[in-house]
Copies of this chain bind each other. A is one copy, B any other.
């Protein structure tokens, strides 16, 4: 089990990124209610609430920060009533994960110059939260030395949809967990390459979770993303003042592109470390992923609906209030919402993006909102 707050953790600030729209989980994930605010797993807590629940055994609620789109600030407050309003950071516009993390970092530094930032996600399922907490403790210890730490997931199969981390020499044991030097970040591979990665044994999936000192990540921005750094340092003194809005308009809005932290910093930085761990980690970025991950009923189907079927298996069926009747379906997704029904084979789940794009192109925004 995990420990209560200790001196080691008194500067730890879990910072949950929760700004995405979750396009590939349309029509459940919509602009007015993105996936992270929904209970997709059917356990009564939204994905954001689950992300929060995973860290509150380690730190008090007022140490948890959420970075989100300004439109969702009220929703975060409603779902996480125990964290202070000041901890909910609304971006006036999305400028990529590097900028979102930078915005979190200046909030933490505004409060605590020794802040250690744990960048966490709200769109993954983590079946072993105890292991996550143990890893966060170990990583906090290592982060104090100035390392940029990423959590790498031990791969169980040659997934082509994730980035990979190539691991080098060991950095030693921290609280019983091994950290290794990151040799290189590798973009989503083709299948042959993914298989080679698995065979090599020194590759991990890039989870998008990071631990570092807030001042250390700022130093990286200064070096590798100077425009972002300048914007952040200009905004920082105005936080929680009446001048913030003007500062954001002047310095944040003009930021270019949607630069990821991987591309903007991690691939270039020197002291990058990884804890390769087994967290029971699942990306639930698509309906097919939910079909893979969620518990199945006796007939082998993922059902969150009133479902009557004849000869159907390995299908996912979502509906709030309608009966879904299926006959002879296999490996299919059926998602019912108030105004849209989506039907597709599980192996076409990535193409939901194309439907969303077609809706945008045809001005059918009512089905996206």
Contact = CB atoms under 8 A, between A and B. Distances in A.
Interface of A: 27, 308-311, 319, 322-329, 332, 334, 336, 339-345, 347-348, 351-352, 354-355, 358-359, 362, 364, 367
A352 B359 CA distance: 32
Contacts of A309: 355
Contact of A354 (B310, B339, B340, B352): B310
Given A324-B340, A325-B355, A328-B344, 8 more contacts: A308-B355, A308-B359, A322-B341, A323-B364, A323-B367, A326-B342, A327-B345, A328-B351
Instruction: Tell me the number of copies of this protein.
Output: 2
B328 A348 contact: yes
A288 B344 CA distance: 19
In the complex, the 5 A-B pairs of residues with the closest C-beta atoms, listed nearest first = A327-B344, A328-B348, A325-B342, A323-B340, A327-B348
A341 B354 contact: no
A368 to B, nearest CB: 11
Contacts of A329: 343-345
A346 to B, nearest CB: 10
A11 B47 CA distance: 74
A343 B332 contact: yes
B345 A334 contact: no
A328 B341 contact: no
6 contacts: A27-B325, A308-B359, A310-B354, A310-B355, A327-B342, A327-B351
Contacts of A345: 327-329
Contacts of A343: 324-327, 329, 332, 334, 343
B341 A341 contact: yes
Nearest to A310: B354
Contacts of A322: 339-341
Contacts of A341: 319, 322-325, 334, 336, 341
Contacts of A325: 27, 340-343, 355
A27 B308 CA distance: 13
Nearest to A323: B340
A326 B27 CA distance: 12
Contacts of A351: 310-311, 327-328
Contacts of A359: 308
Contacts of A342: 325-327
A348 B329 CA distance: 10
Nearest to A335: B325
A297 to B, nearest CB: 15
Nearest to A315: B343
